[in-house]
Structures are given as C-alpha cells and as structure tokens.
Structure 1
Amino acid sequence: MQFKTFTLNEANALLPEIKENLLKLQAMVGAIEARHSDLQKKKAMYKQSPVSTGAGKDDFFKEESALDFMRMEAELLLSNFARKGVQLKMIDPGLIDFPAVWDGNDVLLCWKQGEERITHYHGWNDGFMGRKPIPEGGTQDANN
C-alpha cells in the first residue's frame, strides 16, 4: 500500500493547519446534529398536530436540503485530511495519525486534540491504546 509518510518535523509543522481544519469540522458536525435534531422535533410535532401549524412539507424539504448541503461541506472537510495524507481516526476529541517510518518500521505518529505537539506513535495495528512515547534516541528514516 502506497501512502505519504511524514517525518516528525513535517507532521508537527502541519499540526496548526490540521487543528484549524479539525475545529471547523467539529463545529460543522455540531451544527448538523443540532439542526437534524430540531428538524426531527418539528416533524414529530407536525405529525401529532390535529391542526395545521403553518409548517408544511415544503418547509421540511428546505430544511432537509440545507442539511444535505451541510453534510456535503462536512464530507469535503473530511476529505481534506486524506488529501494531506493524514488519517482522521476520531472527530471529537480529535485523533489524527500521520504515517511515518521510525527505526525502519512503518508506524503512525499519533496526535490527540489538546496535545501541544506530536509526542507518541503506535504500530499500524496497535491503535490509540498502543501509543508509546517517541524515544529521544530513536531515528526517523528519511522518507516521502
């Protein structure tokens, strides 16, 4: 499998942009969830109402269309992570992996939202629970 790999310096240099994109995505997901919940409540009230409340199926169509557009925007934000070569593992809290080669092994440099910089890594099959601190004496291969 061919994938972009990062040095530790490259991954840390990309973090400010990744953090900004993550915050945008989190806000978008929150807005989608809130709007979806409101729409579901309105639909339930409409179905239960014996009298017309003024809201109709056209209003629901407009709201559903707006939600679809918001979802497309969120998908675009999601795809931006992949285009940069990073792996978004979790949106909230943010968990991002950067493919890398460390001491000759394919690893993932691991960053969790709230951390100042990347200080951990794990194997491709280890996941977050297998995180290890990046050793001071370890060598990162030249890659890309």
Structure 2
Amino acid sequence: MKKRYFTLEEAENLLPEISIKLNKLIRISKAIQLFNKVEIDYEDEFEFITQEINSRKSSHKLYYEFYALLEEVLNYGAIVKDLNFGLVDFYSKHNNKEIFLCWQLGENKIKYWHESDSGYDERKPIELLNKA
C-alpha cells in the first residue's frame, strides 16, 4: 500500500465510507475490551480447557476482524489516529508541505487541518488553510 495525498474534496467524498468503517471498528474494539474482562471459573478441568480454547478462538477472530477493518481504512489512504475520539487524518499537501486534513467522527465535513509533525491540539480551522 502506498501513501496517498488527498485534496479536501477527495477526502470529504470518503467520509461516508470511513464513518461506517470507523463505527464498526469502535464496536469491535468495545467487544474486545468486554471480552478481555470476562473471567469464568470452571470446577471441571476439562470444561475449563474446552471453554478456554473456544474463548481464545473467539478472541482471535475479533482481533482479526479489527485489524482487517483497520487495514481497509488504511487502504483508502486514511489513518485512524485515535479510535476513542473517532479521529482520522488524511495526508494532503499545502505549499509543497505535507499536512493532515483532520476529521472527527460525527462531523459532516473536514473542519480542521494540522501539520504532519503536530497533532490534535495544534489543529487549525480548514478556512485558515488558504491563509497559511
């Protein structure tokens, strides 16, 4: 897979699909967290071993689904920066400098950008991009 640079319009056109995938990632992530918290003790050793094997198979399946979906998002050229906050960055160029177009789940369009060596706290309104 190759790094892709987006115009604002190209990145915004992907938002509906990225939004669907990000929501799935969040659901799977929550399932993994819940799954990892569950502990059941069995008195019978055979039953314990059987359930442990089944439990680990289910856990691995969830992790596989999670990383396969994360890879799908990356194949679009988008980077999930923070799943808990629903943050996604898209590589872009401005004045021959690499930047990120920064989007958050729930937003209907990309409202912010930041330089590639900075993060969420230093993002700027997209309207300022043409003034930078």
What is the TM-score with the length of structure 2 in the denominator? 0.89
Question: Please, what is the CA RMSD of the aligned residues?
Answer: 2.0
Range that drifts further, 108-117 or 16-25: 108-117
Q: Which runs of 4+ in 1 moved over 3 A?
A: 51-55
Range that drifts further, 102-111 or 51-60: 51-60
Instruction: Give the match's secondary structure for 2:102.
Output: strand
Cα distance in 1 for partners of 2:107, 2:67 equals: 25
* CA deviation profile, 1:32-72 (whole Å, cap 9, x unmatched): 1112211xx21xx34xxxx4398421111111111111111
CA contact (8 A) 1:103 1:138 kept: no
Gaps of 5+ in 1: 140-144
CA contact (8 A) 1:97 1:111 kept: yes
Range that drifts further, 28-37 or 119-128: 28-37
Indicate the residue corresponding to 2:109 in structure 1. Answer: 117
- Answering whether residue 132 of structure 2 is matched by residue 132 of structure 1, we say no
Indicate the residue corresponding to 2:59 in structure 1. Answer: 67
- Answering whether residue 12 of structure 2 is matched by residue 12 of structure 1, we say yes
Cα distance in 1 for partners of 2:82, 2:110 equals: 16
Instruction: Give the match's secondary structure for 1:138.
Output: helix
Indicate the residue corresponding to 2:75 in structure 1. Answer: 83
Q: Give the C-alpha shift of residue 20 in structure 1.
A: 0.2
> What amino acid maps onto 1:5 in structure 2?
Y
Instruction: Give the match's secondary structure for 1:22.
Output: helix
Q: How many residues align?
A: 130
Cα distance in 2 for partners of 1:110, 1:104 equals: 18
* Identity among equivalent pairs (%): 28
Cα distance in 1 for partners of 2:80, 2:17 equals: 13
Gaps of 5+ in 2: none
Indicate the residue corresponding to 1:142 in structure 2. Answer: none
Higher RCO (C-alpha under 8 Å, 6+ residues apart): 1
Instruction: Give the match's secondary structure for 2:127.
Output: coil
What is the TM-score with the length of structure 1 in the denominator? 0.82
